[in-house]
Amino acid sequence: MTLKRNTYLKKNSFGRSDFSEGFLFGTASSAYQYEGAINEAPRGESVWDTFVRKYPERNCYSNADQAVEFYDHYKEDIQRMKDINMDAFRFSISWPRILPLGKKSKGVNQEGINFYNNLIDELLANGITPLATLFHWDTPQALEDEYNGFLSEEAVNDFKDFAALCFEEFGDRVKLWVTLNEPWVYSIGGYDTGRKAPGRASKYMNEAAVAGESGLEVYTVSHNLLLAHAEAVEVFRNNPKCKDGKIGIAHCPVWFEPYDSNCPDDKEACERAMEFMFGW
């Protein structure tokens, strides 16, 4: 869990010793934003690959084809983590790098599995705890084309298969897992405001959107994300390799207060907003 608030501290006012034993100091990344190497391994396309090309003006005319080249330079980055005394590293596993067409039945990319095996082993060799995220918004484009991704419950079983494969391949060494990264950001950004992939929204929310229904699809997607989370957790709990591991969701909630604490409508609106962001 990550909580953010505006807190101002004096320089050197606290240190590691002020945190409880076992607290992990670390850093994090996501596959699409960091890895690059979109044509290596051979990685399939995600909705973000399509989104940045289809709507370049909505992404500052940039893409992550190259990113920070983590795929080719992860050993150097891990050395930097070690140099600054990081305890842990949270990375996401690219669904389309493992399953280029989104489905296990349509082929597993062994080169992709090899990359994450090597990454995990390198982290452990340097005394850094690996923490793996299964979904950081990079739905395989093949599934978006087939059934509109997480707008369909079909995505639940495909995600379950992907999660099961990851637990089987990496669960002997990765003991900390995240199913979904910031799910409310994905559902609102992708299906309500249309500012993030796959860019769906009603015209009244985003004039640039070509399809979508804000206020409806965001709840459909959120529902299916929760189903996918539940299925993945069930698979995790039943895999012997994961018996001593932990799993959860990564949130980034925004805190709300009612405009008028004496107004029932304001209090209800506040609770509804908090529930959508924090009540997964």
Q: How many helices (H) and strands (E) does the chain have?
A: 10, 5
Which one from 169, 182, 217, 231 is the annotated catalytic residue?
Answer: 182
Phi, psi of 223 (to 5 degrees): -60, -45
- Provide the β-strand partners of residue 201: none
Torsion region of 94: left, alpha or beta (phi above 0 gives left; psi -120 to 50 gives alpha): beta
Is there a contact between 255 and 5 (Cβ–Cβ < 8 Å)? yes
Residues in contact with 266: Cβ distance below 8 Å, sequence separation at least 6, in sequence order: 258, 259, 260
- Provide the β-strand partners of residue 132: 91, 177
What is the identity of the amino acid at 185? Answer: V
Is there a contact between 140 and 31 (Cβ–Cβ < 8 Å)? no
- Reported as type and span, the H/E element at residue 92 is strand 88-92
Q: Does residue 35 carry a catalytic annotation?
A: no
Q: How many other CB atoms sit within 10 Å of the CB of residue 1?
A: 9
Catalytic center residues: 182
